[in-house]
Amino acid sequence: MSKAVMMTPEQKFHNNLGLGALILATIAFFFLTSSVTGAIGFLLVFGIPFFAMNPLPGYATMQDKIGKYIFLVICTLIFIFLITPILIIIPLSFNAEPYFTFTEGMLNFEEGAYSSRWYADILRFGMTDPDGTENWWSDMWNNATWVNAARNSFFIAICATILATGFGTLAALGLSRPEMPFRAQITSLLISPMIVPLVITATGMFFFFAQKGIFPFFPESLANTYTGLVLAHATLGVPFVIITVTATLSGFDRSLIRASQGMGATGWTTFRRVIMPLITPGMISGALFAFITSFDEVVAVIFLADVDQRTIPRQMFSGLREQISPTILAVATILVLISIALLTTLELLRRRSERLRGLSPG
């Protein structure tokens, strides 16, 4: 257990002095600009680094303290720049008016300025009779535009994740063997889909999948089919699985394999009982990355999908071009929440992997 850092009386004095200076600067900024929003932004930009700054050693000079504070201010500005566009869409998705901007009523928190109508529109848009009571669920499941897009996204992403995880894990196991020839060249080739510009990869996939008569069971072509989309998304997800599983195998003790084989275990038993439990966190992390990649992919869908295979990103892209509606913001908010849940899962898996490899205390 780490011990709390005790502040000396001199450090407490400087801390209180800095807090007072921050408050006075915020007040001065407010009187100069007459903007409450600007004052709040000023307080966030310079206040977050102030409270996030840990006490420096006693030998630290004033230049060291100022330099660290400026560094934290720059980090805060970058963080705010990255997170603000994501946070803005959440309140905008509750706008009662069909606008992509904050209305006067929203800024004043007036009653009726906020509404969940756009979340309901996710289920209703495209239905034959959205206000009807007979066969409402069937109508929604079969005809609602966003529901169909969500079904396609989850189906394609799950299938692509299964394929990417299987192929990526096998590739990582092979590349992790020291006797594997041309490991660097093969690794570069396998992870090239995440390096090459996506529009080039999607164009190549389109011309390859559009060939007729070369794919068994698909005489017409793989373009405009679910199978083609799943294969394309799996190709884009394999590099993430290879990287995460390879990172997990970097700390793997190969003497465990020799010990298992010395006790008479077969290759499959060794993999299932020895290797699999240790690389499972890396496999799950890679699978989540592959799922996110497939779920957010739009370029390959534009090239390869038919109108019946529209996914959520493709529907959002079409909505921005054809019908501007805050329903897109509601869908984006839901996707942000899903991403937060997946990233939280990844962090928990990373910590579990470190505990299994003995890199951090339990």
Segments making up each domain of the chain, as ranges: 9-92, 144-356
pLDDT number for residue 9: 58
Q: pLDDT for 97-107, tens place per residue? A: 888 888 888 87
Question: Of 6-20, 99-113, 158-172, where does mean pLDDT reach its minimum?
Answer: 6-20
For residue 273, give the DSSP letter. Answer: I
pLDDT number for residue 32: 81
User: How confident is the prediction for the chain on average, in pLDDT?
Assistant: 82
118 within 8 A of 326, measured Cβ to Cβ: yes
Burial of 49 (0-12, 13-18, 19+ CB in 10 A): buried
Q: Is residue 94 predicted with pLDDT exceeding 50?
A: yes
Q: How many CB atoms lie within 10 A of CB 214?
A: 11
pLDDT number for residue 236: 93
Q: What CATH number should be reported for the domain whose range is 144-356?
A: 1.10.3720.10
Model confidence at 11, in pLDDT bands (50, 70, 90)?
low
Q: pLDDT for 261-319, tens place per residue? A: 788 888 788 888 888 888 888 888 899 889 989 998 999 999 988 888 889 999 888 88
pLDDT number for residue 101: 83
Model confidence at 30, in pLDDT bands (50, 70, 90)?
confident
pLDDT number for residue 166: 92
Question: Of 23-27, 45-49, 279-283, 316-320, where does mean pLDDT reach its minimum?
Answer: 45-49
Is residue 264 classed as helix, strand or coil in its secondary structure? coil
What is each CA distance from 264 to 146, 173, 260, in whole angstroms?
Answer: 54, 21, 7
Q: pLDDT for 216-260, tens place per residue? A: 878 788 888 899 999 999 999 999 999 988 888 877 777 777 788
Most confidently modeled range among 12-16, 166-170, 324-328, 338-342: 166-170
Kindly state the helix (H) or strand (E) to which residue 70 belongs, with its residue range.
helix 62-92
Q: Is residue 10 predicted with pLDDT exceeding 80?
A: no
Cα separation of the two ends of the chain: 11
Q: Is residue 22 predicted with pLDDT exceeding 90?
A: no
pLDDT number for residue 290: 92
